[in-house]
């Protein structure tokens, strides 16, 4: 196994400790040295230092205390450890300073074994604090919950994507947060003052699609009683979000390609050329490589859109994020769920949340928890409240497909009923395209006109 060395900064005015510390160098730590407060402040701009060791000398310790106090106050992410000579600790004022400020202190001559243990613990604590801070920062900035390693890598990539103006293709299974990511890119980019205009490419009737994208002039076709601005024109100066791009009909793919190449278009029923400036973000839950190979998606359009890829991992690969999200949903929904007796999740339900496969990803997690919060008669949400009782160990195992089918059927039938079996309206309410809804209904043998 590869050992990852941890970086320690040593502030040592006299350079007296380096020889002693060399004994620890070949082990788990890498030491860098500074001899002044200014140098230390500069070095701490490097995020990779987890711990600072400060060597206090009997002759200077009060001056050193004055130098170091402001530095400690402004650097909250690292842990500080003091190395002193024992006579320095006779000063009561200095004792108080050490207790107030340092993770631990050591006296010389050094006990290397104890120092190694302290450094290990202090590094662990600093890493934990950094990860908690990052989690908070990412949520505040992007409104996306996640602290798992896969999501941390995703956020690093997202930061880079935000700083460019190139087309982005977001892929991921249904309910993984593709739309949320498009919103995060827009909100944090230089185009945040411009609009974010979304088109659900699978939800528009074939006869209206040109007009929806490009707009039309009065009288362009029967029923066009006045001029209508299209989505592309509305996105001027902002972002055009092409959701479910895989569902875009072939002839529209050709028209879109032309706009992306030339950045100009004309409204339906007009020859006037309009130029537009927008950033394009597309999202897909289908594998576009496969769609290209099967001739359902134009290869040239695919390459236009696929300049930068962002792939959202499925929820089942996000480890501890499942619990994190579950708690966040609970907190958010609690004030409106009208069930004051509900206090949280039972241990068993937290376990099943972590073992279930989540085919519908974050959306399914939110739906299951919201439903459980309303319906539960317990103080703590149980696996049965979540519709996941079959995952409790003494039940026969529920397969991923069966669980998904039963959940989808329940959701679809209720939504269709509520919307008077009007498919377009139901699709809108569920946030999926009509094509997707028909596909799901087909798979589950649900007739559209019950």
Binding site for ligand ATP (CB under 6 A): 144-146, 172, 174-180, 285, 325, 362-363, 366, 431-432
C-alpha pair distances (Å), 403 with each of 33, 350, 438: 58, 17, 20
**CA dihedral sign of residues 36, 38, 40, 46:** negative
d(CA 283, CA 316): 20
**Considering only CA atoms, which of 344, 355, 339 is closest in space to residue 389?**
355
Span near Mg ion by CB under 5 A; candidates 18-26, 153-161, 178-186, 317-325: 178-186
**Residue 279 contacts residue 170 (beta carbons within 8 Å):** no
- Using a 10 angstrom Cβ sphere, with 0-12 exposed, 13-18 middle and 19 or more buried, the burial of residue 3 is exposed
**For ligand ATP, which is the closer residue by CB, 106 or 178?**
178
> What is the smallest separation between the CB atom of 177 and ligand ATP, expressed in angstroms?
3
173 near Mg ion (CB under 5 A): no
Cβ neighbours for 423, distance < 8 A, ≥ 6 positions apart: 416, 434, 437, 438, 448
**Binding residues among 241-280 for Mg ion as defined by CB under 5 A:** none
d(CA 82, CA 107): 8
H or E, element range at 33 = strand 29-34
Select from ligand ATP, Mg ion, none the partner in contact with residue 177, using the beta carbon and a kind-dependent cut-off of 5 to 8 Å: ligand ATP
Tokens coding 149: 């390693």
Select from ligand ATP, Mg ion, none the partner in contact with residue 203, using the beta carbon and a kind-dependent cut-off of 5 to 8 Å: none
179 near Mg ion (CB under 5 A): yes
Span near Mg ion by CB under 5 A; candidates 41-49, 100-108, 170-178, 421-429: 170-178
**Considering only CA atoms, which of 202, 193, 201, 216 is closest in space to residue 281?**
201
x/- binding map, residues 13-52, to Mg ion, per CB under 5 A? ----------------------------------------
> What is the smallest separation between the CB atom of 282 and Mg ion, expressed in angstroms?
11
**Residue 122 contacts residue 50 (beta carbons within 8 Å):** yes
**For Mg ion, which is the closer residue by CB, 88 or 197?**
197
Select from Mg ion, ligand ATP, none the partner in contact with residue 175, using the beta carbon and a kind-dependent cut-off of 5 to 8 Å: ligand ATP
**For ligand ATP, which is the closer residue by CB, 148 or 382?**
148
**For Mg ion, which is the closer residue by CB, 135 or 178?**
178
**For ligand ATP, which is the closer residue by CB, 177 or 238?**
177
**For ligand ATP, which is the closer residue by CB, 8 or 144?**
144
**For ligand ATP, which is the closer residue by CB, 126 or 147?**
147
> What is the smallest separation between the CB atom of 321 and ligand ATP, expressed in angstroms?
7
Total residues at the site for Mg ion (CB under 5 A)? 2
**Considering only CA atoms, which of 216, 188, 172, 203 is closest in space to residue 279?**
188
Which residues bind to Mg ion, rule: CB under 5 A? 178-179
């Amino acid at each position: 196994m590869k050992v990852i060395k941890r970086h320690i900064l040593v502030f040592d005015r006299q350079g007296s400790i380096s020889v002693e510390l060399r004994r620890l160098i070949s082990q788990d730590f890498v030491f860098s040295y500074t001899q002044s407060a200014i140098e230390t402040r500069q070095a701490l701009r490097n995020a990779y230092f987890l711990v600072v060791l400060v060597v206090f000398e009997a002759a200077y310790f009060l001056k050193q205390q004055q130098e170091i106090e402001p530095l400690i106050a402004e650097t909250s992410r690292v842990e500080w450890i003091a190395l002193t000579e024992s006579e320095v600790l006779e000063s009561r004022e200095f004792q108080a300073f050490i207790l107030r400020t340092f993770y631990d202190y050591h006296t010389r001559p050094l006990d290397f074994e104890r120092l190694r243990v302290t450094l290990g613990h202090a590094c662990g604590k600093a890493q934990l604090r950094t990860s908690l801070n990052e989690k908070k920062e990412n949520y505040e900035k992007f409104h996306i919950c996640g602290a798992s390693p896969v999501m941390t890598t995703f956020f690093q990539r997202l930061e880079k994507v935000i700083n460019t103006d190139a087309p982005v293709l977001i892929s991921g299974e249904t309910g993984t947060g593709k739309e949320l990511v498009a919103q995060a890119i827009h909100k944090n980019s230089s185009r945040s003052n411009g609009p974010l205009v979304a088109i659900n490419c699978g939800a528009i009737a074939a006869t209206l699609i040109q007009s929806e994208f490009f707009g039309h002039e009065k009288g362009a076709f029967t029923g066009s009683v006045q001029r209508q601005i299209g989505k592309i024109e509305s996105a001027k100066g902002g972002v055009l979000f092409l959701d479910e791009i895989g569902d875009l009909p072939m002839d529209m793919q050709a028209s879109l390609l032309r706009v992306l190449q030339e950045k100009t278009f004309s409204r339906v029923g007009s020859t006037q050329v309009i130029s537009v400036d927008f950033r394009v973000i597309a999202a897909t839950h289908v594998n576009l490589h496969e769609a290209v190979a099967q001739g359902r998606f134009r290869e040239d359009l695919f390459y236009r859109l696929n300049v930068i890829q962002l792939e959202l991992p499925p929820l089942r690969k996000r480890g501890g994020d499942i619990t994190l999200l579950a708690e966040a949903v609970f907190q958010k929904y609690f004030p409106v769920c009208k069930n004051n007796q509900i206090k949280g999740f039972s241990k068993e339900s937290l376990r099943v949340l972590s073992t279930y496969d989540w085919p519908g990803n974050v959306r399914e997690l939110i739906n299951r928890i919201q439903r459980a919060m309303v319906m539960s008669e317990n103080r703590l949400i149980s696996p049965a409240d979540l519709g996941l009782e079959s995952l409790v160990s003494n039940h026969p195992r529920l397969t991923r497909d069966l669980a998904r089918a039963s959940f989808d059927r329940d959701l679809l039938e209720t939504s269709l009923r509520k919307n008077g079996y009007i498919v377009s309206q139901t699709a809108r309410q569920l946030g999926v395209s009509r094509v997707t809804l028909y596909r799901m209904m087909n798979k589950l043998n649900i007739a559209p006109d019950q």
